[in-house]
Every structure is written in structure tokens, then in C-alpha cells.
Structure 1
Amino acid sequence: MVSGFGTSALWLVSGVWVKDLTGSDGLAALCMVAMWAPTLAGPLLGTLADRTRRKPLLIGANLLLAVLLLTLFTVDSPDRLWLLLAVLFVYGAAGVVHDAAESALVASAVPTPLLGDFNGLRMTASEGMKLLAPPAGAAVYAAYGGASVALLDAVTFVVATGLYACLRLRESRPEPPKGDWRTQTAEGARFLWTRPRLRPLVLAGGTTMLCAGLNGALIYAVIDGLGHTPAYAGVLYAVQGAGSVVVGLLSGPALRRFGERRFAACGIALASVAAGLRAVPSDPVALACGAAIGAGLPCVLIAALTAVQRETPQALLGRTAATANTLVFTPNVVGLAAGAALVELFDVRLLSAVLGAAWLMTVLPLLRQSAASPSRTATRSASDANPA
């Protein structure tokens, strides 16, 4: 919650900061590219989380970012823009390592039957911060400038470091790595691909985020159809975030009730139907669809992450989780780019209807997998995942 607040605030403000410095929309968009680009190297960066103990790695990564953010006080003109983009790139790379290490640490600290509950609570905290942090960051930026938002983010990383230090967990030193870095990276991807319980969920997550990107690119065309100004996007995003907060609280019991595949399938079906109904030019329908999409999207993400944590040995979990994150979240950027092009060529109502139908088809592989091998509840204990 703490570091997520700072990250969400900086995410919004960095683009506004660049826009004010240069007047360029393209350069402002580069901020998002700089933070997202390291995700493509997720399998490689995730290997670092398996070569060292995770708690010290998380503490070190937080302190590194806290110090690095302070250099942004020197960004006061367009010729210093390179420094801001460089910091955001390192920020994104550290975030990849952080997510991989944290996923592995959670799997060793939380009892296996409660992983779904914990991941749902993390999703709720993350989405809750996305609702609160951007307005707060914008207010700080308007009053004191971009460097002050960077300082706010640095402070949250210091606080998060203290919280990690309070975590009571004994970690054994990882075994000496076998093979070079490339071989170790491939092990995580190979494990993920050869596990029939994991592969369908991760592929469904990637397909879902591709469709989510396409759907996100249509939002301003949908708002035009409703007769509102672009600022109405804030209302739709808030409703969508509220849906994600609610489903995060319910995900643990739902996972135990339905299993990972059925839970993911229900979420995809809900989001796809809502995306298709956005073709109806009605405010109540648009708000209901926003809430439904917000509730549906996290289901497959929580299910995939929980399955990876349950099925993967601790020695491989960092790079496997990072590989899964790359496969799931990279398509979102592709979908945003493709949607931005399609919305210029076709009517938004037609695009929404086609997208909803195509998105719904991605449920079928999950349902076939469920019928072929019924989902079982977790029977392993935390000591099975971390004998030390």
C-alpha cells in the first residue's frame, strides 16, 4: 500500500511533468514506455530473485530507488529530460525484480491455502492506491512541482523498506547457480510452459490483458458517444477501480469454491460481456460495464499468480513469476497500440461488440481444462514450498 501510493502518484505526474517541460505529447508518452520496457526482460531480471535471499534484495531495491529518485531534483529544463527517462527505466527494471522477489517471498511466508486470499488483498490494496494516489500526486505537483512528487515517492520507499525489515522470516541461502545466466533464465520459462496447470492460466492472462488494452484504447470514443467531455474518463476509471477492490476481497473464498481455472473463466466472461455492452450509448450501462470490467479483470491475474506460487519450487519461483508477468502484461501495451489504430478506422460500437465476442472465446480453453482435470484444492503446506 505504501510504495504503491508513491508509484501511482509518480506514474501520473511524470507524463504531466514532461508535457510541461517540452510541450510534446510524444515525449510525455515516453515516460510510460520507459517504465514498461523492462517488463520485456522479465525472465532475465527475475533470475536475480533466485540467486540471492529475497528479503535483503527487496530492502536493497527499495533503498536504491529512494536514493535514485532524489536525483530528479535536478530536472528543471528540457535538456535534463534524459535523466528523468533514465530514472524511470531503472524504476521499471527494479519493479520487475521487486515483483519477482515479492511473489517468491509471499509463497514462503503465507500458508499455501491462504495464497489466494493474500493475493486478493494485495490486489485490493493496489487498486485502492490507484484511486487515491493520482489526485494526491496531481495536487502535490500543482503546488510544489515534479521534484516534490519524486520526494514523496522516495519517502514511501523508505517506509516500505522499514516494513520489509520487520518481516519475520528465515531464508536459507540459495544453492550455487548451475549454468550461466541464460541457462538459468530458460529454466523458469521451461518450467512454466511444461506445466499443464500453469500454461493455460498464463496464456489466458496474456489474452485477457491484450483485450483489456484494446478495450482501454476505446474509452474516449465511448465517452464521445455518451456526450461527455474527456474528463468523464475519471469517473469510469474510478468505478472500474471500485470493482477491482471488491473482487480482491472476495477472491480467496471464490478460489476455494471454484478453483483457479473456473474463477479465471468467470472473470473473463464477466469482463468480455461488459466490454461488448459498452456499445450501448447509456450512462447507467457504461457505469455498470466499468464496474464489471474492474471486477472481471483481476480474476485471471489473481488465479494465475496464485497457481504459479503454489506449483513452482522456491528455487525457481523468482524467474518463473517474472516470466509469467512478462507473458501476461506485455500484451496490454500491444492492445493499447492496436486499439488506438482501430478506433480511428471503425465505429466504436462495432469494435466493442466484436471485442466482447472475441474476448469471450478465450474462456473455452479454461473450461476444457477444467472438465478434463477437475481443479483440486491445495494440499501442500508452507513447509513443502520452503523446507528450511
Structure 2
Amino acid sequence: MTTKTTWPLVRVLGDRDAGLYLCGVVVSGFGTSALWLASGVWVKDLTGSDGLAALCMLAMWLPTLAGPLLGTLADRGRRRPLLIGTNLLPAALLLTLLGVGTTADLWLLYAVLFVYGATGVVHDAAESALVATAIEPSLLGDFNGLRMTANEGMKLLAPPTGAGLYAAYGGAGVALLDAATFVLAAGLYAMLRVRESRPARPTGSGRRRTMAGARHLWAHPVLRPLVLAGGVTMLCAGLNGAMVYAVVDDLGHSPAYIGVLYAVQGAGSLVVGLLCGPGLRRLGTRRFAASGVALLALATALRAVPWDPVALVCCAAIGLGLPAVLIAALTSVQRETPGALLGRVTATAHTLVYAPNVVGLAAGAALVELVSHRLVLVALGVALLVTAVALGQSPARAERTAPRSPSDASPA
């Protein structure tokens, strides 16, 4: 890798605040990934029900639908204290899970997971807004790529750790671990040196302020196609994910082989996180995102081939291609949005991009029982390729909705 390519990564890693952000992502992501696995196993052990176990994931995902509303909280005050609070609150709530021991206590687990998901929406919006003020705009793609790498790394390490901890100490042990990671992450965010000015007092009705993020996304010629392409991509990714059991069965393996496929996919995502910054600079946001979606389209269609080497290569390609449009969309939101709106715009973009994934998973679970999974995978590949071609078209020149000076980008 050349000096020109690595230098921005070195600058990001050498920045004190960027390093603290990434450490916070690693620490809290480790606890979240461990709990994500353990909560479903916990419910399965208590009830024996697959459906009730699946509700754990739904409880954590459901608040994403309220992103435009929850995002307003990230624009009401300073973001650094909010980041600290959104780590300490779930840490305290997780301690209440120490009393969960029977099916009668499951309501408490679901309630904590729901609040956990809601604070996560606010946390992500506040973090994105604060990062945009603390990190040089030209380095945002590199930072977001490293953040993706850190997240995916935790998804590879944390689930087996959580499973082992659950086997040894039960769900309470995993809850304690997650609470500790949140407290540690709060301490890391408290060490940030970012200086923030107090936001202006909100004007207009609450509904108008809530919808301001959606209006900004829809009116912006750069953000609208990226967010729409991200939503379509995640819808197809959900449908693709629902086919995984049929794919493994077609390969002649037991369901446990899914772990191998996801590990290979995670390795691909680790790599693309390091390539995002250079890729965004060389190709531009839309062409970089379109290239990732095109790679995802090819890999999805080829999963219909029942051969292990092809399946493994396709999983690695999915790991490489899928994050491209997500990182491109988030980086563009940070660059193209005025600071006062950034929390709402980020949360709204997350809703529009990630909510379709849940719809795709649900629809795919029904579709795989009715139609050959090979036909579905080829159709998804075609749909993704159309999305990539549409996204790769040369966009009109975008104008910033509000001026941003260098001091706006990095007040510290």
C-alpha cells in the first residue's frame, strides 16, 4: 500500500479523539454483540420457544423505526454529555436483568432490550454528529471505515465469548459484562476534548422539527439516491440472509456450517473497512457505493451454485460489497448536513436504510417456503445490479444546504 493511501489512516489513528471514539466502539460493541447472542439463548432455555427467542432481536431493532423522533434528542443539547448518558443508562438497566430467572420475568428482559435499542439509536445519532465536528471532513471516510472494521471485529470475537460466559454463568453473567463495557465506554467518551457550543433554542412545532431530517434527505441530490440505494440494498440483504439455511442445506452441511459462512463474510467486512477511505477518494461516493452493490449483486446470484468454494468466495464478496453503500451514505450525511440537523438526519437515514433489512428477513422467511431459493437468489442479484447501475449514474452537482466553514468541521 502506498504512502498516499496509508497516510490518512495513520492520521486518523494518530488523532487522540478518533482513537478514543474507536476504543469506545470496540468496547461497547463487544458487550452488545455478546448480549445479542446470549439474550436469545437465554429466552430459548427458559421457554423452549424459537419465536420468543427471536423477539429479542425484534425488541432491539424496533426503536429504529422511531429514528426521526429519537434523533431530535441528539440535536437538543451537547452531544458529548449525551453520549456519556446513553452509555450509563443501559449499564444501569442491564443490572436489573440479574433478577430474571423464570418465564414470568421475561417482560423485564424484553423491556430492557427495547430501551437498549432506543438509546442505541440516540447514541448513534449523537456520535455521528460529534464525529463530524471532531474529525477532518476529508478523513471521515477513513474513520467510518475503521469504525466498520472495529464493529465487524467485535462481531467475530464477542459471540463465542458471550456463549462461553453464558454457559458458565448464565444470562446474568453476560448482562454484567455488557454493563461493564458500557461504563468503560462512557469513561472513554468523557475523555474527549471536543469543544461544543450550546445549540440554538428550537423553533417551530415539534412535528416540524422531527421531520426536518427527512425533508433534508429527500431534498438533497446527493443524499437521497444514496439512502434509497442503501435501503434497497439492505432489503435485498435481508432476503438473502433468510436464504442461508436453504443454501447450507443445498451444500449438504448441517446448520452449524452457517457459522463458517458468517465468519468468512465478517472477514470481508474487516478488509473493506480499511479500503473505504482510499476508495471514496479515488472513485467518489456514488461510484464507490455502486461498485460495492454490484459486487454484492454478483455474489448473491452466484450463491445459487451449490459448491463449497463458490459459497465461501461469495460470502467474502458479500462482506466486501455490502458495507460500501452503508459507509458511503453515512459519510455523505456527515459531510452534507448542517451541524444543527445532523442528529435527526443521521437517525432518519438509519431508519430508511436498516428498517428494510427487518422487512427482508421476515419476507424471506416466508418466501423460502414457497419458491426455490436459487430462483430468489438470482432475482435478488438482478435487482441489486439494477440498483448499482442506477446509483452509478453521474449525479447533478450538489449544493450544500447550509455553509460549513473549517471551524464548523473541527471547532477544537
Normalised by the length of structure 2, the TM-score is 0.91
Q: How many Å apart are 1:61 and its aligned residue?
A: 1.1
Q: 1:179 to 1:234 in 2, by over 3 A?
A: same
1:21 aligned residue: 46
- In structure 1, the partner of 2:17 is none
Unaligned runs of 5+ in 2: 1-25
Contact 2:136 2:410 in 1 (8 A): no
Which moves more between the two structures, 350-359 or 52-61? 350-359
Tell me the residue number matched to 2:407: 383
Q: Which residue of 1 aligns with 2:12?
A: none
The equivalent residue for 1:180 is 205
Tell me how far apart the structure 2 counterparts of residues 193 and 261 of structure 1 sit (CA, whole Å): 16
* Cα offsets for 1:152-190 (capped at 9, x unmatched): 000000110110011111111110011232111111111
Query: Is 1:112–1:380's contact at 8 Å kept on the other side of the alignment?
Result: no
Query: Is the 1:261–1:375 Cα contact (8 Å) retained in structure 2?
Result: no
1:363 counterpart (360, 374, 388) = 388
- Is 2:370 the partner of 1:349? no
Match status 1:162 vs 2:187? yes
CA-CA distance at 1:369 after TM superposition: 3.6
Structure 1 residue identity aligned to 2:160:
P
Structure 1 CA distance, aligned partners of 2:252 and 2:40? 27
- Quote the Cα distance in structure 2 between the aligned partners of 1:374 and 1:62: 36
Distance 2:411 2:209 in 1: 22
For 2:225, the aligned partner's letter is: P
- What residue in structure 2 maps to residue 103 of structure 1? 128
Counterparts of 2:81 and 2:130, CA distance in 1: 11
Q: Would you say the 8 A contact 1:260–1:375 is kept in 2?
A: no
- Conserved 8 A contact 1:211-1:332: yes
**164, 170, 177: which is aligned to 1:139?**
164
Match of 1:280 in 2: 305
Mapping of residues 238-249 of structure 1, within 5 Å: 238-249=263-274
Deviations 1:76-130 (A, max 9, x none): 0000000000000000000000000000000000000000000000000000000
- The one-letter amino acid of 1:39's match is T
Tell me which residue corresponds to 2:10.
Answer: none
The equivalent of 1:236 in structure 2 is 261
2:327 aligns with one of 286, 302, 305: 302
CA distance in 2, matches of 1:260, 1:386: 22
Deviations 1:228-284 (A, max 9, x none): 000000000000000000000010000000111000000000011000000111000
Q: Note if contact 1:117-1:251 (Cα within 8 Å) is conserved in structure 2.
A: yes
> What's the RMSD between the two structures over aligned residues?
1.6
Note if contact 2:285-2:332 (Cα within 8 Å) is conserved in structure 1.
yes
Match of 2:283 in 1: 258
Change (3 A) 1:67 1:356: same
Letter of the structure 1 residue corresponding to residue 409 of structure 2: A
1:339 to 361, 364, 379: 364
Match of 2:221 in 1: 196
Q: Which amino acid aligns with 1:106?
A: V
Question: How many residues are matched?
Answer: 385
Query: What's the offset of the Cα at 1:364?
Result: 2.3
What amino acid does structure 2 have at the position aligned with 1:2? V
The amino acid across from 2:318 in the alignment is I
Deviations 1:292-321 (A, max 9, x none): 001000000000000000000000000000
Q: Flag as ranges the 4+ runs of structure 1 deviating above 4 A.
A: 372-376, 379-382
Please report how far the alpha carbon of residue 351 of structure 1 lies from its aligned counterpart in structure 2 after TM superposition: 1.4
Q: Read off the aligned partner of 2:378 and give its amino acid letter.
A: A
* 1:52 has 2:83 as partner: no
